[in-house]
Amino acid sequence: MRQSEAERGSGKRSFLCHCGRNEAISEEGFTLLELLVVIFIVALVTAVVFPTLRLPGGGGLNAEAKRIASVLRYLNDTALAAKEECVLKIDFREDTLSWKGPDFDRSEKFSTLAGVEIPSRGEIREGEVTLFFDALGGKESITVTLRDEGETRKIVFNPLSGRVRISEGEEGKKS
């Protein structure tokens, strides 16, 4: 385990390995663990940043459709679980959705908001619509229409199953 005179004078550090062979191990380069940590950090940052980027060709439209679908599911599930009323207000003048529940009150702007269709009132494209989710969930089917640059997305809430589906609208389909 003693270093020779030549090794001490060279300024390089080397160590003897006790794994059955007596070889000097150099400290130059990166270990496999260091490389894996760097790859993991890069992958994590990419996974967090990439989905928030708006892509051309409907990336913003799809993101807004997913967000509204998420809000509809959340309000329905919260009303069922808490056995308390949740309210969704859609304001076409401000292009906003506001939702209130037992322990939350939020509002968010949606630039692609085009209309809402509910069986009791038909299609609504202007003004304000208030929808209620009570202890039994949503009361009626809700279809929210989003439009951006000739593309259309429809978010359909089914009150019987509590499911929300996103589909391309008639204007958004390409022949």
| pTM of this structure | 0.63
In a domain, 109, yes or no: yes
Question: What is the number of structural domains in the chain?
Answer: 2
- Written as tens digits, the pLDDT of the chain (175 aa) is 455 555 555 555 555 455 555 556 666 888 999 999 999 999 999 888 876 665 554 468 888 999 999 999 999 999 999 898 999 999 999 999 999 988 889 999 988 999 999 999 999 999 999 999 988 888 899 999 999 888 999 999 999 999 999 998 664 344 3
How far, in Å, are 14, 48, 106, 135 from residue 35 at the CA level?
Answer: 22, 20, 43, 52
Q: Are residues 85 and 154 in the same domain?
A: yes
CATH number at residue 148: 3.55.40.10
